[in-house]
Amino acid sequence: MIMIKKKNFLFLGAVAVLVGALLSGTLFAGYFLWTDQIFVSSAEYAAYKKNEKTYGELAELQTLISEKYYVPVDSEKLRESMYKGLFAGLEDPYSTYLSKSEYEQLMISTTGEYQGVGVTIEPDANGYINVVAPMSGSPAEKAGVKAGDKILEVDAVKYTGESIDAAASAMRGEEGTKVTLLILRGEKNMEFKITRAKIEMKTVSSKKLDGKIGYIRISSFEEKTGVDFEKALHAMEVQQMKGLVIDLRGNPGGVVSAGVTVADALLPEGIIAYTENQKKEKQYFRSESGATDIPFVVLVDQGSASTTEIVAAAIKDHKKGRLVGTTTYGKGIIQEIAAFEGGGATKLTVMQYFSPEGKTIHKVGVEPDHVITLEEGDYVDGKLPEENDRQLQKALELLR
């Protein structure tokens, strides 16, 4: 931001206008004002004056509260609230200002290790904290938390979509300590007492199924996911698997580059996805030649979101594999994180992504080629046996 002394600015502006009129006989809308070797267009000057008025009023309000509120105020909290309020005006639950502690907590998720309950959450359109999916093997999953649940309280403190970062921080804590979640499932409130644990985000696991069919599960997309998937896929190729099930159910997404690496290993040369910003500028993600020859089926559900949907949509458009399950979550936007020296940061939605054929994913999701829904009766003691997993069984049927 250019700081200009008001008095000098106005005076030199008048001189510039006068000189321009004398030399040309006309007054241009785009004239330039000069001060201290800085050139400013008339449009920039108008924006400067508008901001001066807006933030001048904001400073007056801050002073009013600080001086006259009936008890002393925390100036740091007041400042953070002003920043958060600015982002709240976007009415975008994915864009926000992050305090130093909130930013530090967000960065934990990219390291692949933290202590907590192991659940991925997103704010929904109704202001709730929505469970995208519990992480595989996590305390939350073992306690019975499911995709689609709404978190109302953490240790008797109410939280909403607007305070989702605070709720995430409250659910984290020292290994072995307990936390109580009040959850809304359908129209029923349910309480879960969960013991926090060390969450090691091993995102890729694999095994052999009967009939020379391989199975690879990707629980989320983190920094090492792409490389780990390539290793698992190579092992399947060495073992000459006749088919492959790739399970992306409950995968909330994550690092886009990891999803691109996975898609690149599965798809022929071409477009994986493309993004578009407010200026309609496009950026393309492409796959190279050398895709696997193993036929594959991908499992998805309502908990498959974000980067997972990039992979699923690309596979569907390329018609290289088939999708089985239920329509995905529908988060087709990308956030950019910008950190400040003071420790805070911004998380701002900067672009939307589309399938190779230009299909919209945001608020729509990706519909499978074969829609198969799981029922409550398929679960035994909260777990889904392979023989009861109708989505998995449909995938095996297609491969065999």
Answer positive or negative: Cα dihedral of 164, 114, 250, 316: positive
Distance CA 101, CA 345 (A): 10
Overall domain count for the chain? 3
User: How much is the pLDDT for 108?
Assistant: 66
Whether 264 and 145 share a structural domain: no
Whether 233 and 380 share a structural domain: yes
Which of 144, 176, 199 represents a domain boundary (last residue)?
199
**Secondary element (H or E) of residue 76:** helix 75-88
Residue 117 located in a structural domain: yes
Whether 173 and 221 share a structural domain: no
Whether 350 and 252 share a structural domain: yes
| N- to C-terminal Cα separation, the chain | 63
- Name the β-bridge partners of 184: 150, 189
Whether 250 and 373 share a structural domain: yes
pLDDT band at 88 (very low <50, low <70, confident <90, very high): very high
Amino acid occupying residue 256: V
Q: Do 121 and 151 meet the contact criterion of CB atoms below 8 Å apart?
A: yes
Q: Do 206 and 238 meet the contact criterion of CB atoms below 8 Å apart?
A: no
Whether 235 and 182 share a structural domain: no
User: How much is the pLDDT for 21?
Assistant: 33
CATH of the domain at 159: 2.30.42.10
User: How much is the pLDDT for 312?
Assistant: 98
- Name the β-bridge partners of 158: 153
What's the mean pLDDT in 197-225? 91
- Name the β-bridge partners of 354: 274, 360
pLDDT band at 37 (very low <50, low <70, confident <90, very high): very low
Please give the model's pTM, rounded to 2 decimal places.
0.67
Average pLDDT of the chain to the nearest whole number: 86
Residue 21 located in a structural domain: yes
Residue 108 located in a structural domain: no
Residue 287 located in a structural domain: yes
Q: Do 118 and 135 meet the contact criterion of CB atoms below 8 Å apart?
A: yes
Which of 165, 199, 233 represents a domain boundary (last residue)?
199
**Running DSSP on this structure, what letter comes out for residue 289?**
S
Q: What percent of the chain has a predicted confidence (pLDDT) above 70?
A: 86
Distance CA 27, CA 294 (A): 70
User: How much is the pLDDT for 136?
Assistant: 78
Distance CA 264, CA 258 (A): 10
Q: Do 354 and 360 meet the contact criterion of CB atoms below 8 Å apart?
A: yes
Residue 267 located in a structural domain: yes
Considering the candidates 150, 316, 320, 331, report the single residue annotated as catalytic.
331
CATH of the domain at 281: 3.90.226.10
Residue 306 annotated among the catalytic residues of the structure: yes
What's the mean pLDDT in 172-196? 95
Instruction: Look up the domain containing 134 and give its range.
Output: 113-199
Nearest to 275 by CA among 301, 307, 253: 307
Residue 256 located in a structural domain: yes
Which of 164, 184, 199 represents a domain boundary (last residue)?
199
Considering the candidates 247, 264, 317, 389, report the single residue annotated as catalytic.
317
Residue 103 vs residues 121, 182, 368, 386: alpha-carbon distances, Å: 16, 25, 35, 39
Whether 179 and 322 share a structural domain: no
Whether 195 and 205 share a structural domain: no
What's the mean pLDDT in 210-217? 95
User: How much is the pLDDT for 270?
Assistant: 97
User: How much is the pLDDT for 400?
Assistant: 87
Distance CA 310, CA 328 (A): 11
Q: Do 314 and 355 meet the contact criterion of CB atoms below 8 Å apart?
A: yes
Which stretches of 57-134 are assigned E, i.e. beta strand?
96-98, 113-116, 119-123, 129-134
Residue 33 located in a structural domain: yes
The pLDDT tens digits of the residues spanning 338-378 come to 998 878 899 999 999 999 999 999 999 999 999 999 998 99
Top-confidence residue, 336 or 50: 336
Q: Do 399 and 242 meet the contact criterion of CB atoms below 8 Å apart?
A: yes
Whether 169 and 68 share a structural domain: no
Contacts of 369 (CB under 8 A, 6+ apart): 316, 322, 323, 324
What's the mean pLDDT in 34-45? 54
Tokens, residue 362: 């945001």
The pLDDT tens digits of the residues spanning 95-134 come to 999 988 778 777 765 655 678 999 989 898 899 999 988 9
Residue 83 located in a structural domain: no
Whether 51 and 182 share a structural domain: no
Q: Is 306 left (phi over 0), alpha (psi -120 to 50) or beta?
A: left
Whether 31 and 69 share a structural domain: yes
Whether 286 and 392 share a structural domain: yes
Considering the candidates 247, 306, 347, 389, report the single residue annotated as catalytic.
306
The pLDDT tens digits of the residues spanning 264-303 come to 999 999 999 999 999 999 999 999 999 999 999 999 999 9
Q: Do 273 and 353 meet the contact criterion of CB atoms below 8 Å apart?
A: yes
User: How much is the pLDDT for 112?
Assistant: 58
